[in-house]
Amino acid sequence: MTEQARALVTGAGRGIGAAIARRLASDGLAVVTLDVREGCDIVLDVAQDDFPPLDDVEVCVANAAITTTIAPSHRMTIEQWRRDIDVNLTGAFRTVQACIGGMRERRQGRIVVISSIAALGGLPGQVAYAASKAGLLGMVRTLASENAARGITVNAILPGLVGTEQVLAMPEEVRERALNAAPSGRFVEPEEIAAAVSFLAGPDAAQISGQAIAVDGAASLSQMSLGREGR
């Protein structure tokens, strides 16, 4: 990569995206932040707005997502379904597509897509969210296969429940229920997701591509035991 690589982080206005932007900046990258909310370098909706030229981006982190659409499958409206798919899946693809042309020309680049452990186990009440995050895994594997010969790596990170501002603002009863279901006994910290992104964006990950890496405190693993010992 160049002496000071340029990185794009979407959904960088708060939470996981903000933590990723801070970490990559501390790694020495020139970070460009993008969000629908004011205060970032680029303000746009990844699902529908035109992107500015991003051919000089060497590290692309597609993190922007909607997480608040909650409805059982039999009552979810088509508008709710489409919005989650449009932002979480199509928006991620549009972000990558805006950056990957320059990467292919330079024959180097790092792409990290933020999926979710909901892609593996589903998420009752959030079928559109789970479907959008599962779709990202197929996208990542295809992009990795298409671009390996061009020196571009493409990977997905699958967070568990992360202690963002939004999660910590949930009612206490809901937070306690979530913590009781967490094998590690705590929420994942945004900085822990950022650390995984930092590794995948760095030189030591040059041969890691097409992978889905869960950062979830073992939440995506079965906790059932047929023996007498508990966890």
Give me the active site residues, please. Answer: 129
Tokens encoding 13? 């206005």
Alpha-carbon distances of 33 from 132, 150, 198, rounded to whole Å = 23, 26, 16
CA 178, 89, 116 angle in degrees (round to 5)? 25
Tokens encoding 218? 């073992």
Evaluate whether 208 touches 33 at the Cβ level (below 8 Å): no
Q: Which of 72, 66, 37, 58 is nearest to 104 (CA)?
A: 58
